[in-house]
Structure 1
Amino acid sequence: MDGLTACMALLRLEGIGPSRYWRLVEHFGNPLAALRQVPSALLDTLPVRAQSQWREFSRLNTRSALVAWAEEERTRCADSGVQLLWHGDPSYPALLTEISRPPPVLYIRGAHRALGLPQIAIVGARRATTTGLDNACAFAAELARAGFAITSGLALGVDAAAHRGALRGSGTTLAVLGSGVDRIYPRHNRSLAEDILANGGALISELPLGSNAEAKNFPRRNRIISGLSMGVLLTEAALHSGSLITARLALEQNREVFAIPGSIHNPMARGCHQLIKTGATLVETSAEIATQLGGLLAEPATETVPEALPDRRQQALVDALTGGLRSIEQLALDTGQNPGELMGLLLQMELDGLLEPLPGGYQLTARGATYCHLVASTPMAE
């Protein structure tokens, strides 16, 4: 029996889990020795089914149901194009080996060599604002063009925007799942998962085939996301969110952590601000990340000035919003325009993707901020 089969059989014992697995392996030296010598004191704490499984293995060894399951799982993976990597394999991701007690086995669907690329994780809120989604997409595209693979969790919101941004930048992106690699979650992102695979990326999980997405799986998924990556970028997050946990795990793993600041009135920016207070690097451009990580950042594609320049009323609105979220009343004072005029302008600029409504007022989108920068030195249209 080789190391991978022993690893999978040991993990198959109900109640073992990664934590107990590593305690056993660290004590006995390897998974096969650990499987053969599960201490009676530990065995007595396991469910009755696990005790029965182990006793059958101790009698039948390679002919036991435990080993049969591991071998059948390996066959299922081979038949469906899924590669298995256990922590003793030379191809196991080097950065992941550096974290405390890494995933014993990885299921990989797609280009397994992508795991060896320098990776940057981009994470954030599922219910992100338009600005948060724009930032995730833009940063991912620029970092992908610079040669970094973009890693995230395939969730709705920022995760999906980061994967799409990497693809838009003609780069590689990896999705770490809280389900089996054959059970895409959320289902809404199935086509995105296929795009990732079609463009040289990979889907990764430490869970067996057929595993459904469950809440208990996502902290483990988040730990893999940060563990695979040289650094983690948080684009938007509430104070109590899974993406904030991912960033904190990265700090614990001695990874670089970056955060994009936002308006003090935006609840989705509070997680970023909290992280900056506790050690994350505040960033405004992808070049800052690439420079700190030593990447070979190509110059981001130069934005062209829009053909239709804003008129003076629109430019006054953009200028007023550069300081952050503003209410209609505040905008009226800032621009000298009456609320009736403003409503029409705000609607048009929202349709143009330059700003977005939030509770308490309006703020610029990433496109709006870029637009403002590009026309700052250009004469305004009358």
Structure 2
Amino acid sequence: MGKKQRRMEVFDGRARYYPSDKLTLEELSYWIAFSRVMGIGPVRFQLLLDHFQEDVARAWYAPSSELTRIGLDQRTVDSFIRQRASIDPDHELERLDRLRIQVITWKDACYPPLLRKIDYAPPVLYACGQLTEDDLHYSIGIVGTRKMSSYGRQVTEHFTKELVKGKITIVSGLALGVDTVAHNTALDNGGRTIAVLACGLDTIYPPSNYHLAKHIIDSGRGVILSSFPLGIKPEAGNFPARNHIIAGLSLGILVTEAPLKSGALITANSALVQGREVYAVPSSIFSNSGAGVNKLIRDGAHPVTEVSDILEHLNIHTVPLPDASVLREPESEEERIVLGLLSREPRHIDDLIRDTELAPNIVTSTLTILELDGLVKQLGSMQYVRCT
């Protein structure tokens, strides 16, 4: 089996192709085609959407004169005209279908809401595997050096394992070192992980992590994700964009070990620019491999020594979730109303009394019964969360 075929094999099995939930296949084909055009990024693509009233086919076939009239510079227009002559939108869709790769656009409900909020969010994402609600809302990036010390490995394993216990999805870049340990530890402990690539999904980079990528997909507990279309190779200039996506998908970035010159610091800086939190595990002052982490702390990153430092700072209250198969359904209208107002975000009993418009004693007794049956949990100070 050739090397190219072997790289593509990872997308068989559990990975399935799903068309956009908001666009027709024809519309989707033009979104994909535009993602292949160098020079048409998120800002210019939005300009085209606005002018052509989201008729992407019209934008694709627009004459040069109209494109310049709406504000694209002549150099960009000329480049686009040249590139579109060699791109067949239908063929692009067929290739993705054949490889069972999902396409996620700005229009889709499963487009990660955290990523959508950042500057220059990519209009199109390519994914193998299925994103879950927890992936979309409770993800933390773990990044660091490719050349770990034993301390770096221990720290990465410890934090990953504890985050996974709290139902946090681990985001990283499939690189050697810290990234690899973070992905593997998440899977080994029954958690979920997202690997973001700096190339098209028909290439796994580094090649030595082919089996890890396959495991992420085959386990059903992870996603391989990229903003780059098929055929794009892992060139050096792509990695800052990959790091930008890692930061955008995450509530915060944890750097476990990194020297002064490390791509992990680019991810951390991208997170700061986007208003995301950056956490760093302190290293020995004599450790070159941890000098970058210590500098992050000096520059304002949050030093952390336990996972609770991260979760408390992000105000994430996690609870062990019982097996959903043994949980009963609400047995009364009061239980249905109270459960309907609860989620994994804690709510005070006073808020529940106000919003349910039920008598305080009814809300209190209902919460007590639900807690005894494992459907809700009190976190203290009369704050409740739902366990399902």
Normalised to the residue count of structure 1, the TM-score between the two structures is 0.69
- Per the TM alignment, residue 11 of structure 1 is displaced from its structure 2 partner at its CA by 3.3
Q: Give the residue type in structure 2 aligned to 1:293.
A: L
Of 203-212 and 152-161, more deviation after overlay is shown by 203-212
- Per the TM alignment, residue 26 of structure 1 is displaced from its structure 2 partner at its CA by 5.8
Distance 1:163 1:141 in 2: 10
Distance 2:296 2:254 in 1: 11
Distance 2:315 2:168 in 1: 11
Q: Does the CA-based 8 Å contact 2:35-2:124 persist in structure 1?
A: no
Equivalent runs, 1:342-357 vs 2, <5 Å? none
- Per the TM alignment, residue 34 of structure 1 is displaced from its structure 2 partner at its CA by 4.6
Q: 2:26 aligned with 1:7, yes or no?
A: no
* Residue 75 of structure 1, aligned match among 78, 89, 94: 94
- Per the TM alignment, residue 164 of structure 1 is displaced from its structure 2 partner at its CA by 1.1
Distance 1:278 1:17 in 2: 31
3-state SS of paired residue (1:203)? strand
Structure 1: which 5+ residue stretches go unaligned?
A: 57-64, 300-382
Q: Does the CA-based 8 Å contact 1:259-1:275 persist in structure 2?
A: yes
* Residue 167 of structure 1, aligned match among 184, 187, 191: 187
Q: Does the CA-based 8 Å contact 1:84-1:108 persist in structure 2?
A: yes
3-state SS of paired residue (1:72)? helix
* Residue 228 of structure 2, aligned match among 207, 214, 223: 207
Q: Which residue of 2 aligns with 1:221?
A: 242
Q: Does the CA-based 8 Å contact 2:104-2:111 persist in structure 1?
A: yes
3-state SS of paired residue (2:278)? strand
Go from structure 1 to structure 2 and tell me whether the alpha carbon gap of 1:30 and 1:288 turns closer, same or farther (over 3 Å shift).
same
Distance 1:86 1:274 in 2: 37
Distance 1:287 1:207 in 2: 35
Q: Which residue of 2 aligns with 1:129?
A: 149
- Per the TM alignment, residue 48 of structure 1 is displaced from its structure 2 partner at its CA by 5.4
Q: 2:70 aligned with 1:50, yes or no?
A: no
Distance 2:83 2:107 in 1: 24
Go from structure 1 to structure 2 and tell me whether the alpha carbon gap of 1:29 and 1:132 turns closer, same or farther (over 3 Å shift).
farther
Q: Give the residue type in structure 1 aligned to 2:241.
A: R
Deviations for 1:100-138, whole angstroms, at most 9, x for unmatched residues? Answer: 120110000012336425101000011121111221122
Deviations for 1:17-45, whole angstroms, at most 9, x for unmatched residues? Answer: 44543454466664726543422674631
Q: Does the CA-based 8 Å contact 1:11-1:18 persist in structure 2?
A: no
3-state SS of paired residue (1:38)? helix
Q: Which residue of 2 aligns with 1:140?
A: 160
Q: Which runs of at least 4 in structure 1 moved beyond 6 Å after TM superposition?
A: none
Normalised to the residue count of structure 2, the TM-score between the two structures is 0.68
* Root-mean-square deviation (Å): 2.4
Q: Which residue of 2 aligns with 1:292?
A: 313
Go from structure 1 to structure 2 and tell me whether the alpha carbon gap of 1:222 and 1:14 turns closer, same or farther (over 3 Å shift).
closer
Go from structure 1 to structure 2 and tell me whether the alpha carbon gap of 1:286 and 1:22 turns closer, same or farther (over 3 Å shift).
same
Distance 2:29 2:209 in 1: 32
Of 36-45 and 232-241, more deviation after overlay is shown by 36-45
Q: 2:299 aligned with 1:278, yes or no?
A: yes
Distance 1:26 1:280 in 2: 39
3-state SS of paired residue (1:112)? coil
Go from structure 1 to structure 2 and tell me whether the alpha carbon gap of 1:25 and 1:278 turns closer, same or farther (over 3 Å shift).
farther
Q: Which residue of 1 aligns with 2:45?
A: 21
Distance 1:11 1:201 in 2: 24
Distance 1:153 1:21 in 2: 26
Q: Does the CA-based 8 Å contact 2:102-2:127 persist in structure 1?
A: yes
Q: Which residue of 2 aligns with 1:189?
A: 209
Matched length: 288
